[in-house]
Chains A and B, each alone.
Chain A
């Protein structure tokens, strides 16, 4: 079966942006402010840079092995059994990430919109949607992301721009934070870099790109635009509420949308509009990580197709999503799991890349025997 190489650079960037912008937008200013005080925007910027390093490593590997994703080439580079550990961790981590994102979505919805709906219902509906959508092939995957991208980016930019009306520049000073402590800063940077982790799905996108050599450009723009939106979100939230108040809000971005109105009081509060956009953003993120989980599993088990796995992992993800006892514990788990996940999404690829360079391993661009057979 010939691998369809149909994804353009723009689509690849779109996948990155809509994957990165997801459920994490809501607590992002809180994460940044908690460790960085008024230096929150700076912290977010540094987090974005670390995330970009991760993408750079993955892209380097992707260009080196243009026909495979990390599940297969890590076996060629590290040896079958060593890579086996890494791959199991990757699959497990992404299953966990999907479950936590669904849970976080559920918590927001039952708190602010559907107050009398059980948490389980909102979580399972979102997981079902991701599960059904991920039965598509890679090309459709890219189309879905490309289609939703403007619906996510433009409204968020609009809301942020309108909210700046209430912002005060003094809230953002000093830029490096009040009495910054290196350990707190470092922890905050890692927590925020962890919010970019969805971008790891790039490793699955590159083998389907029409021109893998363009992956670097697409990767840069993807992280740049998503990171830019993240930094502006933090600037807007901290600018409007100030660092001390932001620290007291669980979802500062949602509060920001509530406090923002369209000029002329057409809409007095934009939280309904924002939540509608945000649901789309969460869906694309869940869709990506769900797709990546089953795609990686199908490669791992040497299956030809991933469709069968989609409903199969659904109950496991649902059970995982129900593990945290409450919102507070969930965010503790997200912060810790996210930071540990950086070992899997940045450090592990770095090791693979270094070993590949040392051992002079290269993927063949032609029809090698271990070329991926994909739908």
Chain B
């Protein structure tokens, strides 16, 4: 009798100890559930466009003192899953739907805001999946933004643990958004490699 009770107590203990493991990787993020950002372009934006395009996502309108560096427009290239042929000769497994040739391998989105964080939060509102910066290849800054100083931007990007320090940072003569929209006729996605 004493024996069985002990065994039962032990079994119970094993079950209780197993409970914490059941939660598993509860905060995992599968690769197809991420929006992989490949490039970021940063431009100046006029106050009107920002007011028109910025929803009241990160702050109420007018509740925020205007930053000295002015408003920002962020353009972003997001990889479209399944449409990126990984190098020459390998056809993208586009699920049978047309392949990679005719379609865009990346999707370009805009976000407006007073600061870069603001703009990225606004942009997140127009993208269903959480943005993932782990594979970010290039950051294009327009000349107009660069002239105001990039210390602030650089600091923001450095504090994001996903962004690598080997990411290219370039300054464009024209608008950074135009660089983001550049498309090569070749279907191979190696613009930044």
**Count of residues in A whose CB is under 8 Å from the partner chain:** 16
Chain B, 152-167, contact with A by CB distance < 8 Å: what is the 0/1 string?
Answer: 0000001001001110
- Residue among A116, A258, A268 making CB contact with B165, cutoff 8 Å: A258
Roughly how many angstroms separate A252 CA and B135 CA in the complex, as a whole number? 19
Roughly how many angstroms separate A115 CA and B134 CA in the complex, as a whole number? 14
Roughly how many angstroms separate A258 CA and B136 CA in the complex, as a whole number? 12
Chain B residue at minimal CB-CB distance from A117: B27
Question: Chain B residues with Cβ under 8 A from A114's Cβ?
Answer: 27
Chain B, 164-178, contact with A by CB distance < 8 Å: what is the 0/1 string?
Answer: 111000000000000
Chain B residue at minimal CB-CB distance from A269: B164
A27 to chain B, nearest CB (A): 15
Question: Chain B residues with Cβ under 8 A from A268's Cβ?
Answer: 135
**Of A173-181, A241-249, A312-320, the one touching chain B:** A241-249
Question: Chain A residues with Cβ under 8 A from B135's Cβ?
Answer: 268
A327 to chain B, nearest CB (A): 12
Tell whether A259 pairs with B27 under 8 Å between CB atoms, given A248-B158, A268-B135, A269-B134.
Answer: no
A237 to chain B, nearest CB (A): 10
Roughly how many angstroms separate A241 CA and B167 CA in the complex, as a whole number? 12
A116 touches B27 (CB 8 A): yes
Chain A, 258-277, contact with B by CB distance < 8 Å: what is the 0/1 string?
Answer: 11000000001100000000
Chain A, 226-265, contact with B by CB distance < 8 Å: what is the 0/1 string?
Answer: 0000000000000001000100110000010011000000
A166 within 8 A of B: yes
Chain A, 81-125, contact with B by CB distance < 8 Å: what is the 0/1 string?
Answer: 000000000000000000000000000000110111100000000
A25 to chain B, nearest CB (A): 17
Chain B, 31-62, contact with A by CB distance < 8 Å: what is the 0/1 string?
Answer: 00000000000000000000000000000000
Roughly how many angstroms separate A269 CA and B161 CA in the complex, as a whole number? 13
A334 to chain B, nearest CB (A): 20
A259 touches B161 (CB 8 A): no
B166 touches A259 (CB 8 A): yes
B166 touches A166 (CB 8 A): yes
A112 touches B161 (CB 8 A): yes
Question: Chain B residues with Cβ under 8 A from A258's Cβ?
Answer: 164-166
Tell whether A249 pairs with B165 under 8 Å between CB atoms, given A114-B27, A115-B27, A117-B27.
Answer: yes
Chain B residue at minimal CB-CB distance from A261: B166
B31 to chain A, nearest CB (A): 13
Question: Chain A residues with Cβ under 8 A from B164's Cβ?
Answer: 255, 258-259, 269
> A115-B27, A249-B158, A268-B135 are known contacts; what are 11 more A-B pairs with Cβ within 8 Å?
A111-B161, A112-B161, A114-B27, A116-B27, A166-B166, A245-B165, A258-B164, A258-B165, A258-B166, A259-B164, A269-B164
- Pairs across A and B, CB under 8 Å, 23 listed: A111-B161, A112-B161, A114-B27, A115-B27, A116-B27, A117-B27, A166-B166, A241-B165, A245-B165, A248-B158, A249-B158, A249-B165, A255-B164, A255-B165, A258-B164, A258-B165, A258-B166, A259-B164, A259-B165, A259-B166, A268-B135, A269-B134, A269-B164
A binding-site residues for B, Cβ under 8 Å: 111-112, 114-117, 166, 241, 245, 248-249, 255, 258-259, 268-269
Instruction: List the 5 closest pairs (A to B, CB-CB), nearest first.
Output: A259-B166, A116-B27, A112-B161, A258-B164, A255-B165
